[in-house]
Amino acid sequence: MSSLKDMLGWVRGLEPVKRGAESEIRLGFFMGIPAIFKLRVPKPYMHPRLADILISQRTRKEAKVIAYALKHGIPAPRLLAVLPSIGLIVMEYVQGVTLKDYAYRDPRGALLYSRIAGSILGRLHEVGVAHGDPTTSNYIVSSDGGLKLIDYGLSDFTEDVEDKAVDVHLYRRAVESTHASIAAGMFEAFLEGYKGVLGGEALKVIERAEEIRLRGRYVEERRRSVWRALG
């Protein structure tokens, strides 16, 4: 293609998969390989120059985290191309289903995969990365039977216990909100996998995650009390 502008136009013509607040996900082929094209989009209220800078920075950071995770053996999508100037990351397309959908089909099998999900997050935390959104929608049960963790858009390099605890809390909240009947078993299996990687270090994170959960319950109860009083 003759220019980045042409590339951008071509990407926008690919099959849309998902549109979020900050990015578009499209499906196509890159050099003959099935690929996911993640294109960050500017927010309409933001100054164009500032938007360009932030898009470039966040694209570089996400690609850096993915490359780092892959280097340390984390099952993440392979990077195929990174173009920060237009906010584009091209990754391998992981064929399969989300763990969220898989759990509806095979609740017993979901317990096994939930344990693997915990070990994956544990390995990510072990090398100093918080994922930022490790829900069952971002774990993919691939067609070959493996499990991969995708979407590193909110990821960051950190050793902060709170950041890692938020990850654990988000997984728990995800299974409780979508798989109530097996949520306890899925989360228990997840913690087994997580502790299997981090050992004693996991306990501090799990304790903090429980504190976060209780803080959330307190805030929600206070909100309900206010509405009851107003009503």
3-state SS assignment for residue 9: helix
Catalytic entry in 52, 133, 151, 160: 133
Let me know if 133 is a catalytic residue.
yes
Nearest CA-CA partner of 159 in 189, 198, 196: 198
Classify residue 180 as exposed, middle or buried by CB count within 10 Å of its CB (0-12, 13-18, 19+): exposed
Nearest CA-CA partner of 11 in 35, 47, 42: 35
Pairs from 23-32 (Cβ < 8 Å, separation ≥ 24): 23/87, 23/153, 27/93, 30/80, 30/81, 30/90, 31/80
Whole-angstrom Cα distance, residue 20 to residue 222? 31
* Alpha-carbon distances, residue 214 vs 194, 199, 230 (angstroms): 21, 24, 24
DSSP string, 27-52: EEEETTEEEEEEEE---TTS-HHHHH
Based on its alpha-carbon atoms, the radius of gyration of the chain, rounded to whole angstroms, reads 19
Whole-angstrom Cα distance, residue 176 to residue 185? 10
- Positions annotated as catalytic residues are 133
